[in-house]
Amino acid sequence: MNTATVVTDPERQFLGCVLWMPHTTARAVLSGMRATDMADPMCSHVLQLVIEVVAAGHAPEPVTIYARATTTGHAPGEEGRHRLSRWLADTYGHTVQLPDTAWHLKTVVLEAAWRRALAEHAQRLLHAIDHSPTDVLADLADGTGPADDLWARYRAALAPTTPKEVAA
């Protein structure tokens, strides 16, 4: 375990904050979040489990997340269970617990996801610019749906007004 990574990674810190929350608070903070918003595969995996647990009406405690993973086959084998258990324990144990930290980190994670979506879109355009027919290129240029969606969710996260339903 690299403690510095756990403490300085916004995605892990966000998830760590959520792991400490009661159900209703977690539900509000998770509003508008998707597992695909995470760049790190393990963070994405755990966020999906957290979303499922919260959508089922439970607090996202590490033991509940672990139980969900093992009963649904999302932590196969002894090694998979050990890796998830260690990750949850490290993240839970090294999370900074300050008021509103999760809300702030949510915006940090969503902004980073939006920037990645823009970069991916730009890469697709750059790749196609010299080789694609103009109609294909025009469609690619207009195909900003994922980035637009992330932008809207990021803007909504900047000023949460009412608790919303979790995206399951």
CA distance 48 to 63: 15
11 assigned to some structural domain: yes
Among 47-51, 68-72, 105-109, 120-124, the least confident range: 120-124
167 assigned to some structural domain: no
Asked if residue 37 has pLDDT above 70, the reply is yes
Q: For tokens 């595969």, name the residue.
A: 41
pLDDT at residue 163 in the model: 47
168 assigned to some structural domain: no
153 assigned to some structural domain: yes
Q: For tokens 């144990």, name the residue.
A: 93
83 assigned to some structural domain: yes
Q: Rounded mean pLDDT of the chain?
A: 89
45 assigned to some structural domain: yes
Mean pLDDT of 81-104: 91
Asked if residue 7 has pLDDT above 80, the reply is no
CA distance 132 to 106: 37
Mean pLDDT of 56-81: 96
- Contact between 27 and 54 (Cβ < 8 Å): yes
Residue 75's contacts (CB-CB under 8 Å, 6 or more residues apart) are 66, 69, 81, 83, 84
Band of the pLDDT at 159, cuts 50, 70, 90?
Answer: confident
> What's the CATH code of the domain at 145?
1.10.860.10
pLDDT at residue 2 in the model: 64
Q: How many domains does the chain have?
A: 1
25 assigned to some structural domain: yes
Q: For tokens 């977690």, name the residue.
A: 26
165 assigned to some structural domain: no
pLDDT tens sequence across 116-153:
999 998 888 888 888 888 888 888 778 788 888 889 99
Torsion of CA 32, 59, 57, 80, to 10 degrees: 80
Global pTM reads: 0.84
- Contact between 153 and 32 (Cβ < 8 Å): yes
Mean pLDDT of 15-22: 96
Domain enclosing residue 77, as ranges = 3-158
pLDDT at residue 22 in the model: 95
> Which of the 8 DSSP states describes residue 104?
H
Asked if residue 81 has pLDDT above 70, the reply is yes
